[in-house]
Structures are given as structure tokens and as C-alpha cells.
Amino acid sequence: MTGKKTILVGIFLAAGLLLFGVGLFLIGDRRLLFSESMVLQTEFGNVSGLKPGSKVRVSGMDAGEVLEVAVPVRVDEKFRTTFRVLSTFQPILRKDSIATIQTDGLVGNKFLQVQPGSGEAASLEPGDTVPSKDPVEFGDMLDAAVETVQHANEAIDDVKLRVDQAVDLLADVNKQAVTMIHEVGDDVGRIVKTANQITDDIRVIVENAKEGRGLVGKLLNDDELYSNLKDIVDQADMTAKNLREISTDLQKFSSEIKTAELAKTIQDTADNVRDATGQVKELLANFQANDAGDEGISADFRQTIRNAEAATAGLAENTEALKRHWLFRGFFRKRGFFDLDDIEVEDYLAGRFAPDRDRKREWVHAHEVFERRDDGSEVLTAAGRSKLGDAFGPFLRLTANNPLMIEGYADQGGEDEQYVRSFERASVVRAHLIRRFKLKPTLVGVMPMGKVASTAPDGKPWNGVAIVLFTPKEK
């Protein structure tokens, strides 16, 4: 009996192991774990619910699964998605293939869809990044549709209003046209009646003229009267000719008069210009000092500027005093400094500035960032701005409340020229970093180091700038 139970237990265990193996094989086959595959990557601005384990399809056919969705470490980066596809699809996956996120049906699971590329593009290799196109959310489509419907309703309402206005206008035009037709009909009747009367009168005049009655009839039938009229017309023509000659003489005379008036006008204009010049000279004299000791209006302007400078200096002194007041000095002492502009080079070199902080330094050579002009001044080049951005990149996450010092170095000329050159270089770099990375000006200072020997084997002095960030010491 015991042997029979043992056999049954063995059969049960064997069947269980067999079912477990079959299930494990089916799961592995479903996830394509037993097929040769290659790993690719792509990037999305919006993963739209895509997660590890989601299916990967090539032209609608199951081809793999999503392995990882990495969260970006910066706001300007995208979600990097790593996925696996069967190697059998490699011949149709090209560099110009497009990866998109799609949904099974309207509310189904998300999956990664990869479209085959063109025959001209190169094949994708393991580890390549596939170009992507961000998904269009159903909610965004609904919002766009609602907005489109609203615009359409507004357009329909506007068209309806305009049609109503056009119909009202046509009705008014029709009413006015009917009224005008009635009024014009009466006027046309009167015009026709008057025209008939005129026609009758003309007929009578023509008949009288034919019979020699009236002025027209006498003109047509009396030759002597015609000759007299012709003489009168000839005399009128002669009179008109004489009038034209007189008009020409008058125009010449008028031109001579206008010339004289023009000369007088020019003379008056010159006198006016002379007077205006005198007034301008008098006005300029008021701005300048005179022989009697009166300095003029310019002295008032200079005095006003001096007063403004004195007020600004007083305000700066009051601000400095306020910094050291017992209510506020705790903040500046905790920060480690009151004003970066007050730090002396000797104290800085001796390490008395922010001794409780670590110094992180990035060196940049002058020939990499500056370009010298004809007047001797230096400006940043396009490559120099890019170089400074690369050098400052590691500090971006640490600049919130930590002081930043721009050290300037110069190895040519006397001490005065080295100081001026190093100060100008540090100031140019400081202004560029504040403007580009929106830094707090109160936390960014300049330190003209002048000529300082380097730690290189040849001991050649530094020539350029150094970006130094003071961070709290790690405990």
C-alpha cells in the first residue's frame, strides 16, 4: 500500500514539474526569450503610459518587448526607452524607421510600434537609437475637436448674422426700387409730354424759317444780313487776337514783378537765418562760462550730477552699514562674505575667503576663448562662449547659493598691465555667465590674479581665466 502511494506521489510530482516546465516555456515563448534578438533605443517627450514589458510591434506584428523607460535627468531631455526586437526583423529596420506609441483599440494597452524604413537607408545595428514621433493623446484630440467645433459654431453664427443682414438689406433695396419706379414713372410721363411740346415748337420754328419769318428765317434768306454777321465775326476774331498779345505782355510784366519779389523773399529768409543763428549762439553762451565768472547752465548740470553721485555713494554706505547691523549680519557671516567686491587678492591667495568651503576649479586658456581687437581690447569668440559653457556645465547644479569666483590671469606686460588685463578677462567672462545662465550677480565675483606661475613642469605662468565654485565641505 505504501509503495502504491509513493508511485502516485511521484506521478503527481512529475506531472506538476511537467506542467511547470510547459508553463515556463509558454511564458518565455510569449516574451520571445528563446529567440535571437537585438536591443535598440528611442526617445519620447511623452511616454503616454508605456512601461517595461509592453509589446513591441513592427508593422503590426509582435516583434519584442520594452525593457526599460529611463526618466530624464534634465528638463531639456526626453524619456529614453530601451526595447528588444527579434533579429529576424533587422533587414527591414533602417536608420529612417520611426518609433511611435500606439494603443490597442480606443482604451487598450499601450505598445511600441516601429515602422520599416526605406531601402536607401542603412540597417539598424544593436544599440542604435531609432527616430521617434511623440504620440497624440486621445484627450488632446478631443480638446482640439471641441475647439474646432466652437470655432465652427462661431463661424456659423457669424455667417447666419451676415445672411440675415444681407436679406434685410435686399428687402430694403427692393422696397426702395418699387418706390423709385413709381416716382420715376410719373416723371417719365411728364418728360414725354414736354418732349412732344418741344417737338411741336421746333416744327413751327422750322416752318417759319423756311418761309423767311423770324430771325432764323431772315438769316437763312437775307444775304445782306449774312454778310453783316460775317463781318462782325471777323472783327471779333481780330479782337481776340489782340487780347492774346496783351495777355502775353501782361505775363512778362508779372514775371518781372515776381522775380523782384523772389529776391526780396530770399533776402528776408537770409535775415531770418542770421537772426536764428544769433539766438543759437546766445543759447550756447548761456551753457558756457562767461568772462564775468558766471559758469552758465552747464555748471548747474555738473552740480546736479555731483549731487546725484554723492547721494548714490551715501546710499551705498548706508547699505554696507545695514549689512553689518546685528539684525542682518548673521546671514552674511553664515554665507561667509558680505560683498565679493571687497575681497583683496592677498586675502584670497591666503585662503582667508570661505575657508570652510571646498574649491572646484575649471581652467580655460585665453587663446581658446578670447580674440584681440585692433585697439588692444579682448572679446569672447563664438567658440569661446561654447568653451565656457562646457567648462561651466559641471557647476550648473551647484550654483544655487554658493559663491562663484572668476579668476583672471595675464602673463604679458608690467604689473599694471597684467592687473588690468586679468581684471578685464574675468569681468567679460562674469558678464557672459550671468547673462547666459541667469546667475545671481551678488554671488559672482572677479579676482584679478595677474601673473601667477602654474604647476606645470616648465612653470610657465597661467594665461586665461579660471572658474572657481565654493561648495560646502562634505561631512
Over the stretch 152-183, which tens digit does the pLDDT of each residue have? 888 888 888 888 888 888 888 878 877 777 76
Compute the average pLDDT of residues 119-130. Answer: 89
pLDDT exceeds cutoff 90 at 123: no
Q: What is the percentage of the chain residues whose pLDDT exceeds 70?
A: 66
What cell numbers appear for 452 in the block? 601667477
Compute the average pLDDT of residues 335-345. Answer: 66
**Backbone phi, psi, residue 93, to 5°:** -95, 115
> Lowest-confidence range among 56-65, 262-271, 293-302, 463-472?
293-302
Q: What amino acid occupies position 399?
A: T
* Per-residue pLDDT, 29: 57
* Per-residue pLDDT, 135: 82
Compute the average pLDDT of residues 356-380. Answer: 91
Compute the average pLDDT of residues 312-333. Answer: 51
pLDDT exceeds cutoff 90 at 468: yes
* Per-residue pLDDT, 232: 64
Q: Grade residue 6 by pLDDT with cuts at 50, 70 and 90.
A: confident
pLDDT exceeds cutoff 90 at 189: no
Compute the average pLDDT of residues 57-63. Answer: 88
**Average pLDDT of the chain?**
77
Q: Grade residue 378 by pLDDT with cuts at 50, 70 and 90.
A: very high
Who wins on pLDDT, 430 or 300? 430
Q: CA–CA separation, 292 vs 449, rounded Å?
A: 52
Who wins on pLDDT, 113 or 18? 113
* Per-residue pLDDT, 433: 93
- Tell me the CA distances in angstroms from 144 to 137, 139, 158, 201, 472, one per residue in order: 11, 9, 21, 81, 50
Highest mean pLDDT among 120-129, 152-161, 165-174, 328-337: 120-129
What would the pLDDT profile of 85-95 be if each residue is shown by its tens digit?
A: 998 888 888 99
Q: What amino acid occupies position 308?
A: A
Strands 129-130 and 444-450: unpaired
What would the pLDDT profile of 15-39 be if each residue is shown by its tens digit?
A: 888 888 777 666 665 666 657 889 9
Q: What amino acid occupies position 446?
A: V
* Per-residue pLDDT, 52: 92
Compute the average pLDDT of residues 317-333. Answer: 51
Who wins on pLDDT, 111 or 119? 111
Answer for the pair 436, 397: CB distance below 8 angstroms, yes or no.
no
* Per-residue pLDDT, 365: 93
* Per-residue pLDDT, 334: 52
Name residues whose C-beta falls within 8 Å of residue 467's C-beta, 6 or more positions apart in sequence.
361, 362, 364, 388, 391, 392, 395, 404, 406, 407, 429, 433
> Lowest-confidence range among 11-20, 60-69, 217-226, 387-396?
217-226
Highest mean pLDDT among 148-152, 229-233, 415-419: 415-419
- Edge to edge, the sheet with strand 79-86 lists 99-103, 110-114, 55-58, 61-70, 79-86, 37-44, 129-130
Q: Grade residue 435 by pLDDT with cuts at 50, 70 and 90.
A: very high
Q: CA–CA separation, 398 vs 357, rounded Å?
A: 13
